[in-house]
Structure 1
Amino acid sequence: MKLKLLFLLILTSKCIYSQTIEIIGKVTSISDVENIHVINNTAQAFTITDKNGEFKIPVKFNDTLIFSSIQYKLKEVVVTHQMLLNQAVLVKLDEQINELKEVVIGRILTGNLLKDINNLQGERPVNFFDVGIPGYTGKIATQSERRLSEAGGFNPSLGSSGYGLGGSIGFTPIINAITGRTKMLKNRVKLEEREVLMQKIKRNIAKDFFASNPMEEELKMDFLYFCADDVNFIKYCKNQTDFKVLIFLRVKYKQYMENRD
């Protein structure tokens, strides 16, 4: 009987050690714990935490989990036997504190009012709010967007009806449409949009992605441009959660590596 129990215990332990199990985890900290990147560096699987800091991820014994976020220090956790038995893990993250060197902004005041006034130079520039003029405070257009706006939105297929019955059309938009300059500018705006989005992904997500999807340093930018060239790049990456962007990058990673083989 004892031998049977021992055999069952050994068999159960082997199954636990070799089997992939989905565990439930929770991240705790004194600050916001939503959208923390959780990466199984061994199995190259990833997920993110919800607003409560909770997540689910498949693991095996001895896998390494990496917890990464801008506001927290990088943390690695090795999956233990106890975690597999409990099918749960609790992780506490430490805040990332960036100490800046002491700087002095502006002139140092001496306490002598007349002397300090004489030392002041220049005046605050007057803006449109000071004189009661409405001003634009929205997104500043890029150079290509300004040129496209100047080129006009004339559509040859609409004719003059695009501007209302009997309405007149400026000569410049017509010339731009005929010569193809408007189309060229539209394509340039799209290229700039892709470049800005790619740089944002590089800045916010690339480090975590390459942690679980290794690649030579000199190939990383080539891979990101490979992703940006995809016709669905804007659709799957613009205004999407980090999790959805990571899924898109993972699909492109497989394609990129297959192309290099």
Structure 2
Amino acid sequence: MPTLSNLACFYFLILSYFGYAQVVELSGVVTSFEEVENIHVINKTENIYAITNAKGEFKIKAKLKDTLVFSSVQHLEKRVVVDHQLILFKALRVLLDEKVNQLDEVVVGKVLTGNLFSDIENVEGKPPINFYDVGIPGYTGRIKTQSERRLSQAGDFKPRMLPGMLLGGGSLDPLLNAITGRTKMLKTRVDHEERDKLMRKIKSRLALDFFISNPLDEAYRMEFLYFCADDPDFLKLCKNQTDFEILLFLRAKYRAYLENRNETKN
């Protein structure tokens, strides 16, 4: 006769199997500073695919642990593994990086990895000294993202910089990037990435508890969270704030979101 522990294990395996095998339809949107129409969305695990519309929107069926591949001629390929949160919310937003044409890489000498301590060991001859050796302060803070590095390289043009540029005392890059709109585009991208990162942190930490007391159909939960992230004061009111303060913000946006949905229905 089976014991209670054996029955518990059996039921656990059955529930795990059905949870793992559950197929849901994911609603998603692709964002980029390039064209977002006709981007291929491929479920490599199930061999099914979809194509984004003019707004970057798509729908595709998937289950837990499936791998979604996003690709186009203009973008770098990106892979997303379906996790429990995607199954729960049935929605995702994917930010694609534009593809930059580069010359073939020529390697001269040792290949460096980017890891300071590893590269020092691989350099021939006497290793260079660093700020640890001489006891001076050095930067040990957060590494900038790719978009933040590009923005820093583009420069931020100020009117007071113009005389020096005209007299040859400064680079024209900040002015040219301001005229072409590249600086504005990079600022928008950095802001978008920061909002998306913060929104995902809030979702993983607070969303489940929030929706218990503020009910909302699962199909609209991700839409609500992006509605919050698009608020002009989202970063100011939620970044480095306590959970209580963030929940107050979410509650206020929840009421506004429901009002918007009711107005749309009417």
TM-score by length of 1: 0.47
Higher relative CO (CA 8 A, sep ≥ 6), structure 1 or 2? 1
TM-score with structure 2 length normalisation? 0.46
